[in-house]
Amino acid sequence: MRIGMPISYSGGFDRTTAVITDYESAGLDIVFVAEAYSFDAVSHLGYLAGRTTTVEIASGILNIYSRTPALLAMTAAGLDYVSGGRFTLGIGASGPQVIEGFHGVPYTAPLATTREVVDVCRAVWRREKLDHHGRHIDVPLTPERGGSGLGKPLKLINEPVRPRIPMLLAAIGPKNVALAAELFEAWQPAFFLPEGSATAFGAALAEGVTRRDPDLGPLQVVADTHLLITDDADEQATALDQVRAQLALYVGGMGARGKNFYNDLAVRYGYAEEAATVQDLYLDGRKDAAAAALPEDFVRGVALVGPRGHVAERVAAFREAGVTTLNARPLAAEHADRLRSIELLKSLA
């Protein structure tokens, strides 16, 4: 398995990027830059490209609404150029709170919009002509379809480094997971639980694979996780508390009742009663109680926290469930210890 690491999108990215070369030397394969409502991820990714030489860089993720499909394609081509062909375009639907509340863009038709992004990006990278007719697009343009009336249809001026930049879809809902398996090089689920993955995702993945173009190769699976390899029980407890807090935020507070995709995922994992309790507590403002209500096997199952032997067993479980990249956030307090954690995880993978 490959080893990835997410980079925080809060604060100044000059400081977070300064240490990446250390991880690059330790064998880190890929870094992921998220975009929420802080500095934009594209600036950060370009900065990373200039400060690194071998590690791959990926957007993890850019949403599919706040940039047009053509701009996403242009941006990906530019990042692939400045990185020397090391970029992966990670996209996802995000959620109404960010898309409508922050960007002021309607959160509609995520499946159709995602398909359009894929079609447009790959056409742009092949330097095919693009022509829009209002919201309708011809990819590629054919003489029978005519033009937009705005002049000659356009294609990308530059020759991209690669005619097909790898694309990753962040998805947890069944329809989106099937879409990832059908159209994308890679898929990134949230809170991947190896023991529950077949139940939560198996049918959707199988459905998508039946429509998959063989030229895409096998679907790569990127699993987010937290990492702390230690024999110290107190350090383990502190790390697991961090995992609990994040799980509680997403399962309990990332959306209203009936509109929380992460809560739905916990239900599909088999924690329906617990997910409802966590959500009730979190939305009532009892965040600590919500975190405490999360099942212990769920918290430990999605993380890589514990002695080396335990972490090795969990790595094997992720591998057996089909994971090809562990996107691990090191939880050690000091940089040297975080670096050693990545080195050790690399040896276990």
DSSP characters over 296-308: HHHHHHT-EEESH
Q: Which residues make Cβ contacts (< 8 Å) with residue 237, sequence separation at least 6?
A: none
pLDDT at residue number 140 = 57
Question: Using an 8 Å Cβ cutoff, are 4 and 326 in contact?
Answer: yes
Q: How far apart are CA 4 and CA 349, in angstroms?
A: 11
Domain 2-228+306-348: top CATH class: alpha beta
Side-chain half-sphere CA neighbours of 191 within 13 A: 26
Please indicate whether residue 120 or residue 95 has the higher confidence score (pLDDT): 120
Exposed, middle or buried by CB within 10 Å (0-12, 13-18, 19+), for 286? Answer: middle
Q: Which residue, chain included where needed, has tokens 């107190």? A: 234
SS3 83: coil
pLDDT tens digit sequence for 252-306: 998 889 889 999 999 999 999 999 999 999 999 999 999 999 999 999 999 999 9
Q: What angle do CA 307, 308, 311 make, to 5 degrees?
A: 90
Structure tokens at 59: 């957007």
Mean pLDDT of 148-175: 90
pLDDT at residue number 128 = 94
pLDDT at residue number 143 = 47
Q: Which long-range contacts (CB under 8 A, 24 or more apart) does 301-304 make?
A: 301/193, 301/194, 301/195, 301/196, 302/191, 302/192, 302/193, 302/225, 302/226, 302/243, 302/247, 303/225, 303/226, 303/227, 303/239, 303/240, 303/243, 304/225, 304/226, 304/227, 304/228, 304/229, 304/328, 304/345
Q: Which residue, chain included where needed, has tokens 């005619």? A: 163
Structure tokens at 63: 């949403």
Mean pLDDT of 141-149: 50
Structure tokens at 263: 């809560």
For residue 247, CA distances in Å to 34, 127, 254, 292, 299 come to 17, 42, 10, 10, 8
Instruction: Indicate the residue type of 277.
Output: T
Q: How far apart are CA 61 and CA 50, in angstroms?
A: 20
For residue 124, CA distances in Å to 84, 117, 138 come to 18, 10, 12
SS3 87: strand
The domain spans of the chain are: 2-228+306-348, 231-305
Pairing of strands 304-306, 325-330: unpaired
pLDDT tens digit sequence for 299-344: 999 999 999 999 999 999 999 999 999 999 999 999 999 999 999 9
Q: How far apart are CA 160 and CA 28, in angstroms?
A: 26
pLDDT tens digit sequence for 292-306: 999 999 999 999 999
Q: Which residues pair with 169 in a beta bridge?
A: 91, 187
pLDDT tens digit sequence for 39-94: 999 999 999 999 999 999 999 999 999 999 999 999 999 999 999 999 999 999 99
Query: Any idea how long the chain is?
Result: 349
Instruction: Indicate the residue type of 194.
Output: P
Side-chain half-sphere CA neighbours of 89 within 13 A: 26
Pairing of strands 62-63, 87-92: parallel
